[in-house]
Structure 1
């Protein structure tokens, strides 16, 4: 499927999730499920690093909304005086759309719910899903590092 390059900043739990993702490259359902797991792990990690408790069993969408709010990337909060603010809003919205859609795709085509049919997602599309999930994860980790002065 290709190389997966994501700088986790040496965070062990995230490195483990990333390594699982790399090992799943020949199994689209597993790769999609693992990409969603990585995004969820990143969200929980960010919240813990910011000193916020993570409610046990909190829905994925709720976690990501709080993370985006804490890191200042809710699309509605982009400064309208900034040149390109509409495009930046759309990019922030797209990062949310990627996370949400990876989670939804995992429920429909990935591992984790005991599906009775094989996945219908091609390896090529799986590669796109994985790369986009990694891009969003890395963006949030970079914002966390900036927030914490690293």
Structure 2
């Protein structure tokens, strides 16, 4: 996943590692040097030119060079910095390396303007899934399946698509196996086509004598998935969100966890079929 590189993004990223107004915090200059090197931007690093600059100015200068001469390397550096800031607790308010509420809000806004969604805990994802294809989309869906299994509510909603993980996964499977995604198909139809692509059994599939016992589990996943979709459409906003008054928080979390289990199972079968 290639992250956006723009003037507003560069400014926001620089603020995430700026410690000029506070006691020194991670990432350190040494860690930044490693990240810059991994991105292939050492020659653009002011420190490599003998200059003594603060961390924010160092990152700005490196990324400003990249935006003109090597955009992919700049995008990689942004991703590495976000990952490092998250790893050292920069997005956690109780951490000594916390970057600050305003800095995080500015970064969220900056990525929002580039059609990317940065969460308050540092996770980032594209708002439009059409920008991802093939294995990269599989990895993306797997990551959110794991979050959904832990009951993370935002993982059940792919912002900007209006579709939850199960529907996005079904479309991905159809695209991967058949080379197209049907338009205006309802959720049960999409799931049925995804199941057909993976040679899985739906509740409508006749039971065969001595069939593998896993076929019953496949049917159960299908039923759970279509039930979740009905709840989403009737009780939610129609866009994957399940935080409504007729559902308790425990019920919502249970449904979201089931979304993760179903998504993970479908993606596992997709990988097995390739």
Output the TM-score relative to the length of structure 2. 0.40
Is 1:42 equivalent to 2:169 in the alignment?
Answer: yes
Tell me how large the CA RMSD over aligned residues is.
3.1
- The answer (yes or no) to whether the contact 1:17–1:37 under 8 Å persists in 2 is no
Larger helix fraction of residues? 1
Is 1:74 equivalent to 2:201 in the alignment?
Answer: yes
Output the TM-score relative to the length of structure 1. 0.68
Give the Cα separation in 1 of the matches to 2:187 and 2:231. Answer: 13
The Cα of 1:19 is off from its aligned counterpart by 9.6
The Cα of 1:80 is off from its aligned counterpart by 2.4
Give the Cα separation in 2 of the matches to 1:109 and 1:96. Answer: 20
**Using a 3 Å threshold, how does the CA distance of structure 1 residues 111 and 88 change in structure 2: closer, same or farther?**
same
Unpaired runs of 5+ residues, structure 1, are 1-8
Is 1:112 equivalent to 2:215 in the alignment?
Answer: no
Give the Cα separation in 2 of the matches to 1:77 and 1:52. Answer: 27
- The answer (yes or no) to whether the contact 2:198–2:269 under 8 Å persists in 1 is yes
Bigger relative contact order (CA 8 A; separation at least 6): 1
Structure (1 or 2) with the larger CA radius of gyration: 2
Which of 102, 124, 127 in structure 1 is aligned with 2:253?
127
- The answer (yes or no) to whether the contact 1:78–1:88 under 8 Å persists in 2 is no
